[in-house]
Amino acid sequence: MRNPMPLILSTCALTFLLLGLAACDGERSLEAASEKVERVARDVDAARAKIEQREEAVEKAKESLEEARTELAEIETKLSEARQSVEDAISDTDLFRAVQSALLDDDDLEDLAISARVAQRVVTLEGSVPSEDLKVRAEKIAGDALGVATVVNQIRVEVPAEG
């Protein structure tokens, strides 16, 4: 909460100023000055109430954000644990089948001489392709298979001779 002292001091100064002016102009001016002071005091109270409401809203938002962060961390942990259990259950044979299938499902790679070997979740790609783009695509496809730890890309780029 902000320090209310400057606001209180300025309100008091305004009150004394208005009272001083009122003393010069007589009783009627004193009433008008008092009314002004009361209006200003109400405005100050209303402003304080708004500030307090907004500070409460900010605190609630901070609490909600922290709860959401905690929940996200818990979900990420569960996801990591689930992924690890799936990866642990996948054998090298399962990975080989998944990688070969994914390579054969790609229209641009299916007819190329690419072979995959899998040992301890490390996929080694061999063969030849006509472009660097296809070499990179094959590596990405193999790496996207669930359970693959690393891809060793030994594919050669061999541009076909123009005849």
Domain boundaries, the chain: 5-87, 92-157
What is the C-alpha to C-alpha distance for residues 89 and 23, in angstroms, rounded to an integer?
Answer: 92
Contact between 147 and 119 (Cβ < 8 Å): no
Residue 77 Cα distances to 54, 69, 90, 101, 149, angstroms: 35, 12, 20, 30, 19
pLDDT tens per residue, range 3-55: 666 667 666 666 766 666 555 555 667 788 788 888 988 998 899 999 999 99
Residue 100 Cα distances to 4, 55, 64, 103, angstroms: 72, 59, 47, 5
- pTM score above 0.75: no
19 alpha-carbon distance from chain centroid = 57
Which stretch, 2-6, 7-11, 82-86, 96-100, has highest mean pLDDT? 96-100
Class of the domain covering 92-157: alpha beta
pLDDT at 19: 64
